[in-house]
A and B are shown apart, each in its own frame.
Chain A
Amino acid sequence: MFDIDRWNEIWNALAKNKVRSLLTAFGVFWGIFMLIVMAGSGNGLQNGVSEGIAKFAANSAFFWSEQTSEPYKGFKRGRYWHMDSEDLQYLKDKVPEIEYITPKNFTGRFGSGSNVIRGKKNGSFNVKGDYPDYVKIDPATVLKGRWINDLDIRDKRKVCVIGEKVFESLFDPKENPLGQYLKISGVYYQVVGLIRAETQININGRTEESISLPFTTMLQTYNMGNQVHFLAITAKKGVPVSVVEDKVKEFIKKKHSIAPTDVQALNSVNIEKEFKQMSGLFLGIQILTWIVGIGTLLAGVIGVSNIMLVIIKERTKEIGVQRAIGATPRVIIGQIMLESVVLTTVAGYIGLSMGVGLLELVNRIIESAPTQAGDRPFFTHPEVSLTVALSALAVLIIAGLFAGMIPASRAIQIKPIDALREE
């Protein structure tokens, strides 16, 4: 097996029959190429999506109110209701498993922006009322200035924090937005911060297209009383989010006279659960990739086996001559198996390299593409790990052995006498 001479012999046989070798190799090349490209793309998707949400607190849940769907305690079904500021302290007392709890309010209906003016420039953006703790749940990078603080809340200051898109459309690129004033729905607010979202999660509009006011300021200027539109909660370490989720729902419903069985009135999203589903999805993609990839590879291997069978027929005479002049069956088997392994491995290696090369190329293109502020691609770092590459190579060698087995056994069934007989 490790006799140099034998390798020379194989190499000569392959090199001198180029078309035949290429034809044989192509199937395997394609199989591995596809496997790598698919596995890499799967990873790229996973990386992209994960990077988009990774920084988001995985132990969080969100709540918002809807119309009730059941009559309860004298109230008819279809009632409009709101959570309120008192609920915050109430929940903190009743549910000790809560780590952070922050409210968030919105102006207008979901998705519709407010008109914002600065001098001659204007635009339509989402305006949100926020709490200092909110960035502990949905982290953001402060590019300039600061995020909303406790003093803003206490004094109901007329200040705001803007996203990157807001900056781009209302300011010149070299301008410093801090200290400048924006007129939002007729009221002036001073800009104190510029932020960039670290996640791709949007709550009532993307962060880069949003303006955050102090929560209390919003309640006052928009006459919201003590309404709370949206509640973000994180669970303490070691507590499953669903436990907190259930408790919060139970107490809020109790406090606002909503039927305990009403599933519509208080809506929620459990990020932990979403994460789990997502990782299940990615596992699914990975498994699918391997099934399809191995399938393609298998087809390639069967192709090699088939073509080698045809080749054996073509080579009947050659094999007959070899056997007549002293090649033992072992030599013939070894030669055909080795040819098969060399072909599949070389072809596979080329497929592997080209697959990895393609992924690398795509990666470069993605990275060099001018991304707009906060516009991160949902597909990054498409790559395969060394383990994947090595196991693919191992699969190849084994596959090559299998591919060679049938043709080899066919070859030694050829009797030299049959091979040599004149037509």
Chain B
Amino acid sequence: MIQISNLHKSYVMGHNSLHVLKGLELDIEEGEFVSIMGSSGSGKSTLLNILGILDDYDLGTYYLGGKLIQGLNETKAAITRNEMIGFIFQSFNLISFKNAMENVALPLYYQKVSRKKRNQIALEYLDRLGLKEWAHHLPSEMSGGQKQRVAIARALISQPQIILADEPTGALDSTTSFEVMDILKEINDQGKTVIIVTHEHDIAAMTKKIIRLKDGVIEEVIKNGDLQLFKDRVRTE
């Protein structure tokens, strides 16, 4: 699904340049459930943004579903994002003046699905996430967990192959965090590739593979079988 090799990314600010990703190698198969960890400033968000074609990189190659993602113009990037990727953000990023249903339906608007049809589909997704009664509420009238579920419904509605989530539980309490993780796990069980960035070990432990970033490269990959080991290690850390 995702093949990255020798990926470099620097931020240039005036005369200074900050080299964040330094020749990163990464392969993610279809249907994987991956979490990216690492200390603050290690480049997790940077990597996720590149994966989501929200930002470009300086050097290396990035294949998404067999297609080389490089120097796309904004229109192509927007279409690819719309069709292949679902985004979930730490701060939800719902549109404040649209109600839950309209927020969820938005990606279909860009696919030119009729209003009636996309609202109907949006209602189905909200129903699946247990938010049917909240369809006509504005984001400001909902709790953090509810908002994140609306955002998940929005990420799912265009039936993307990949879900990218930057600290999806960062703004939630632990009970709600686990609820959200359960939903993501369910989505993954249905065959979608899910990649999340997180700080929390117990959240990461719910995924099937953990990638640890350090100094702009991958320091360690902990796979399925070793997860128990990781959990034990976390407990002692």
Contacts and interface: CB of A to CB of B under 8 A. Distances in A.
A324 B102 CA distance: 16
A143 interface: no
A317 to B, nearest CB: 7
Interface residues of A, number: 29
Nearest to B46: A417
A327 B111 CA distance: 9
Please indicate which of the listed interface residues A12, A327, A415, A420 has the most CB atoms of chain B within 10 Å of its own CB. Answer: A420
Interface in B58-109: 74-75, 78-79, 81-83, 87, 89-91, 93-98, 102, 106-107, 109
A325 B54 contact: no
A385 interface: no
Nearest to B50: A417
Contacts of B98: 12, 16
A-B pairs, top 9 by smallest CB distance, nearest first, are: A326-B82, A16-B97, A326-B110, A328-B78, A417-B54, A328-B75, A417-B55, A321-B93, A325-B107
A323 interface: yes
B84 to A, nearest CB: 10
Nearest to A321: B93
A326 B95 contact: no
Nearest to A9: B109
A328 B81 CA distance: 10
11 contacts: A12-B102, A17-B97, A318-B95, A324-B54, A324-B93, A325-B158, A326-B78, A326-B79, A328-B79, A330-B75, A420-B54
B52 interface: yes
Contacts of A12: 97-98, 102
Contact of B78 (A17, A321, A329, A417): A329
Contacts of B81: 324-326
A328 B109 contact: no
A420 B109 CA distance: 20
B160 to A, nearest CB: 10
B190 interface: no
Interface of B: 49, 52, 54-55, 74-75, 78-79, 81-83, 87, 89-91, 93-98, 102, 106-107, 109-112, 114-115, 154, 158
Nearest to B75: A328
B52 A331 contact: no
Given A317-B93, A422-B90, A323 B49 contact: no
Given A8-B115, A330-B75, A417-B49, A325 B91 contact: no
B79 A325 contact: no
A248 B90 CA distance: 96
Given A325-B82, A326-B107, A417-B54, 5 more contacts: A325-B154, A326-B83, A328-B78, A416-B54, A422-B91
Interface of A: 3-5, 8-9, 12-13, 16-17, 317-318, 320-331, 412, 415-417, 420, 422
B96 to A, nearest CB: 8
Nearest to B92: A321
B115 A326 contact: no
Contacts of B110: 325-328, 331
A326 B154 contact: no
A325 B75 contact: no
A218 to B, nearest CB: 84
Given A328-B75, A420-B54, A5 B87 contact: no
Nearest to B96: A318
Contact of B115 (A5, A318, A416, A422): A5
Contacts of A326: 78-79, 81-83, 107, 110-111, 158
A116 to B, nearest CB: 79
A12 B101 CA distance: 14
Contacts of A17: 97
Contact of A5 (B78, B93, B109): B109
Contacts of A317: 93
Contacts of B106: 322, 325
Given A325-B154, A417-B49, A417-B54, A13 B75 contact: no
Nearest to A323: B78
A9 B119 CA distance: 13
A322 B83 CA distance: 14
Nearest to B97: A16
Please indicate which of the listed interface residues B75, B83, B111 has the most CB atoms of chain A within 10 Å of its own CB. Answer: B75
B74 A329 contact: yes
B105 to A, nearest CB: 11
Nearest to A331: B110
A13 B96 CA distance: 10
A416 B93 CA distance: 12
A50 to B, nearest CB: 53
B83 to A, nearest CB: 8
Contacts of A318: 95-96
Contact of A412 (B49, B74, B90, B112): B74
Contacts of A420: 54, 89, 93
Contacts of B96: 318
